[in-house]
Chain A
Amino acid sequence: MSSLQFALELIFTGLCVGAVYSLIAHGFNITFWTTKVVNFGHGPFIMFCSMIVLSFLMKGLPWIVSIPIGFAIIVIIGLILERVSVRPLLKYPTSMGWIVSTLGVGLFLQALASKIWGAQALAFPPFIFEATDYVSIFGIRLSAQYLLVLVMALVIMMLMEMVMNKTIWGKAMKAVAHDPNFARVMGIKSKIVITLSFMISAFLAGVAGILIAPIYGTITPEFGMNIMVLGFVAAVLGGIGSSKGALFGGLLLGVIEKLVGGYISTSAEHGVAFLILIIILALKPDGFFGVKVVQKV
């Protein structure tokens, strides 16, 4: 294998792995737009939805039935999360209580999953592609499932950009984000917009879950929490609240990880994300695509 091919292999794989982070970062963005809340329950949502889908699959139901049930349940949980752990806190705009409350819901889901399905790894069957399916690009074999995630991350980014910039919903979301009370005065049902944003975010967690779980092959109650952290780093790197940023941040993080693994040391590969987080928070806290928010008090 030539050194160029090795480098390309690392970069392409990095893009694929990064797509997973992007997909998660997109989920963070939606709730951030409407409430400035980062839902730290997002990771366990990913896990919980894939667990529900898996349990219906194991009961012999086909994908086409299991997936809608899983999505319906996770969307309802998203609604509950908003009602229970976010809405009561929005009364205090300066409160950071949502960090604890959303994380709390996440930990609760994690514990609930251990109770229902046990704490051990459960095998997740292949979805759409087999685990061994690959696509050859410039002689480099890329996992088809990873590419599917990459395509999905791109599609979601484009959809979001479109919704935010071209539709009345996007404008409503922006208005709510800017000032929920004023938006209400203008006739926008702020509460419904906020609730919907959490439900859409939960839906995205579900999409991420069933696409990512087959890559890991097995899922445990901790599954979502681990990747959520990396998704969060991706969101911060790209600029939280920006769809382009989510995509770019995720892909960049993936590529950096793989390059560090390939050229420096594989033991440094996983720690590098946190180094990036520290650096970006210190030097460019708004990320690459984030907009500097000036708040009048």
Chain B
Amino acid sequence: MKKFSVLVLGIILLFVTACSNSAISTSKNTKSNPDDGSNKETETIKIGMTSAVTGPYSEYGEGNKRGVELAIEKWNENGGINGKKIEVEILDDQLVPDKAANNIQQLLADPEIVAIIGPAGSGPGLATVPITEAKGMVHMNIVPQTIEVTYPNGTDQAPRKNVFSFALQNDVEANVLGEFAGEHWEKVGLLHESTAYGKSGMDLIANILEKDFNKKPVAREEYNQGVSDMTSQLSKIKNAGAEVVVVVGLGADLANIKKGMDRLGLDVPLVATNGALSLPYLEGAGDLVLGTIGSMIGALGKDPLSPEAQEFADAYKEKYGVDRYWGNDENNPQLFMSLNVANAYDGANVLFEALKNAESTKSEDIIKALESIQDFKGVNATYSFSETKHHAISEEALDLFEYVKEGDKIKLAPYKK
């Protein structure tokens, strides 16, 4: 009996180990000859990627995966990079920093991989950049908003040599929200989630309010992600006489904040980070979202879309249809796609462009080629990099949007004062 139990345990352990690091290898290699593979190196260009493909944050990981795959398909259909087809190996980290770091080690062990597309989330981002930096491997940062991923000593200092960011950096979002709140209201109430993202983002906003407008927030409160009731936070903000509530947080929590504000009769505008434009907020708060103002990369809100954004939207719709990522409006992709699909699509396209220009797969050559990219038109922005500037999304790419009612439908419209 005991032996049997040990045997069963052994088999279970084996199974768990085998499943734990499942790689999703999406080979876009054409039906190449199944020869010995000796000339494979010359036929393909391979990149590695780790992201939260499954788990609670798969909205980002799966979205990023789709973005990268769309870009690869586009390039491969047009003959690849200088005649070489592109291939990607994607590992799943579920947004767990340790897993992401392990995945990166595993990817770096493959000599064929020439560049890395980084994980979603600031935690995994910060856990992986030191590894790629030590090896000098090109690292495209797609989602993590924390500045330190790209600029370890602040934006006024040199960036990490190997990291190029397509993320909406915390400081950029904070600048836009801080300026907006400072210009329009005297008494500002602040509320943020208790994560690094929430705290650091709110520090930046509070800083702008104090420095640029000489305004001290009347209240600053925090909450844990996923909490159901924020009465104490909102009551304090209400008691302080706030004329606006500025929030750094995710969509589902924003829905609870908005419901709480409604119940407590805290009838002031809600201004929030990009979570305000996510589906969980709209679904969770329903009609209450009206009037909420959120900041977001404006590219997919333009009418008409830029040719690049239109091409991306068409390609996405053709491959995946109108789904959760696309959003409720059949004709227009939702703005949030800029943060989970289009960013990865742009990152991959810029990387491939640099690989094409570099005509080499050596890291130094790719970095040089990336730093020489100027006015490359992508979906989210027009990209220009230099030795000192390794991030792409700046304040100009950001717009403020407001929920408005059009007939029976709730829509996001560019904010007009």
Complex interface bits, B271-299 against A, C-beta within 8 A gives 1, otherwise 0: 00000000010011110100000000000
Tell me the smallest distance from the CB of B237 to a CB of chain A, in Å: 10
A122 to B176 CA separation, bound complex (whole angstroms): 30
Chain B residues within 8 Å of A212, by CB: 228
Contacting pair B265 A266 (CB below 8 A): no
B210 on interface, CB distance cutoff 8 Å: no
Contacting pair B231 A217 (CB below 8 A): no
Contacting pair A6 B239 (CB below 8 A): yes
Contacting pair B56 A119 (CB below 8 A): yes
Chain A residues within 8 Å of B238, by CB: 1
Contacting pair A266 B221 (CB below 8 A): yes
B152 on interface, CB distance cutoff 8 Å: no
Contacting pair A261 B239 (CB below 8 A): no
A114 to B264 CA separation, bound complex (whole angstroms): 35
Chain A interface residue count: which class? 35 or more
Chain A residues within 8 Å of B226, by CB: 216, 220, 222-223, 226
Contacting pair A9 B56 (CB below 8 A): no
B229 on interface, CB distance cutoff 8 Å: yes
Other-chain contact of A217, B223, B239, B256 (Cβ < 8 Å): B256
A260 to B309 CA separation, bound complex (whole angstroms): 49
A56 on interface, CB distance cutoff 8 Å: no
Measured CB to CB, the nearest residue on chain A to B235 is A9
Chain A residues within 8 Å of B194, by CB: 267
Measured CB to CB, the nearest residue on chain B to A215 is B228
A17 to B232 CA separation, bound complex (whole angstroms): 12
Complex interface bits, A176-208 against B, C-beta within 8 A gives 1, otherwise 0: 000000000000000000000000000000000
A13 on interface, CB distance cutoff 8 Å: yes
A218 on interface, CB distance cutoff 8 Å: yes
Measured CB to CB, the nearest residue on chain A to B55 is A119
Other-chain contact of A132, B59, B239, B263, B283 (Cβ < 8 Å): B263
Measured CB to CB, the nearest residue on chain B to A260 is B232
Contacting pair A217 B255 (CB below 8 A): yes
Contacting pair B284 A119 (CB below 8 A): no
Given contact pairs A141-B263, A218-B284, A120 touches B59 in the complex (Cβ within 8 A): yes
Within residues 209 to 228 of chain B, which ones have a CB less than 8 A from any CB in chain A?
A: 221-224, 226-228
Chain B residues within 8 Å of A146, by CB: 229
A210 to B231 CA separation, bound complex (whole angstroms): 22
Tell me the smallest distance from the CB of B229 to a CB of chain A, in Å: 5
Given contact pairs A141-B265, A217-B285, A258-B231, A266 touches B236 in the complex (Cβ within 8 A): yes
Contacting pair B221 A134 (CB below 8 A): no
A217 to B254 CA separation, bound complex (whole angstroms): 11
Chain B interface residue count: which class? 35 or more
Chain A residues within 8 Å of B54, by CB: 114, 119
A270 on interface, CB distance cutoff 8 Å: yes
Measured CB to CB, the nearest residue on chain B to A223 is B226
A222 to B57 CA separation, bound complex (whole angstroms): 12
Tell me the smallest distance from the CB of A101 to a CB of chain B, in Å: 14
Contacting pair B235 A267 (CB below 8 A): no
A269 to B230 CA separation, bound complex (whole angstroms): 10
B334 on interface, CB distance cutoff 8 Å: no
Other-chain contact of A10, B57, B228, B235, B324 (Cβ < 8 Å): B235
Given contact pairs A120-B56, A123-B280, A131-B286, A266 touches B223 in the complex (Cβ within 8 A): yes
Contacting pair A218 B252 (CB below 8 A): yes
B394 on interface, CB distance cutoff 8 Å: no
Chain A residues within 8 Å of B239, by CB: 1, 6
A215 to B54 CA separation, bound complex (whole angstroms): 26
Tell me the smallest distance from the CB of B347 to a CB of chain A, in Å: 22
Within residues 121 to 154 of chain A, which ones have a CB less than 8 A from any CB in chain B?
A: 121, 123, 131-132, 134, 141-143, 146
Contacting pair B252 A134 (CB below 8 A): no
Tell me the smallest distance from the CB of B291 to a CB of chain A, in Å: 14
Other-chain contact of B284, A20, A118, A123, A142 (Cβ < 8 Å): A123
Contacting pair B256 A216 (CB below 8 A): yes
A222 to B262 CA separation, bound complex (whole angstroms): 27
Other-chain contact of B228, A20, A123, A221, A262 (Cβ < 8 Å): A20
Contacting pair A218 B280 (CB below 8 A): yes
A269 to B223 CA separation, bound complex (whole angstroms): 8
Chain A residues within 8 Å of B223, by CB: 266, 269
Tell me the smallest distance from the CB of A125 to a CB of chain B, in Å: 9
Contacting pair A141 B233 (CB below 8 A): no
A13 to B227 CA separation, bound complex (whole angstroms): 14
Complex interface bits, A213-244 against B, C-beta within 8 A gives 1, otherwise 0: 00111101111001100000000000000000
Known pairs A119-B54, A123-B284, A270-B224. 17 more at Cβ < 8 A? A10-B231, A10-B232, A119-B55, A119-B56, A120-B59, A120-B280, A121-B280, A143-B263, A216-B226, A216-B256, A218-B255, A218-B283, A223-B226, A258-B231, A266-B232, A269-B223, A270-B227
Question: Which A residues have a C-beta under 8 Å from some C-beta of B?
Answer: 1, 6, 9-10, 13, 16-17, 20, 114, 118-121, 123, 131-132, 134, 141-143, 146, 212, 215-218, 220-223, 226-227, 258, 261-262, 266-267, 269-270
Can you identify 18 A-B contacts, CB atoms within 8 angstroms? A6-B239, A119-B54, A119-B56, A120-B58, A120-B324, A121-B252, A216-B226, A220-B56, A223-B226, A258-B231, A258-B232, A261-B232, A262-B236, A266-B223, A266-B232, A266-B233, A270-B224, A270-B227
Question: Which B residues have a C-beta under 8 Å from some C-beta of A?
Answer: 54-59, 194, 221-224, 226-229, 231-233, 235-236, 238-239, 251-252, 255-256, 259, 262-265, 280, 283-286, 288, 324
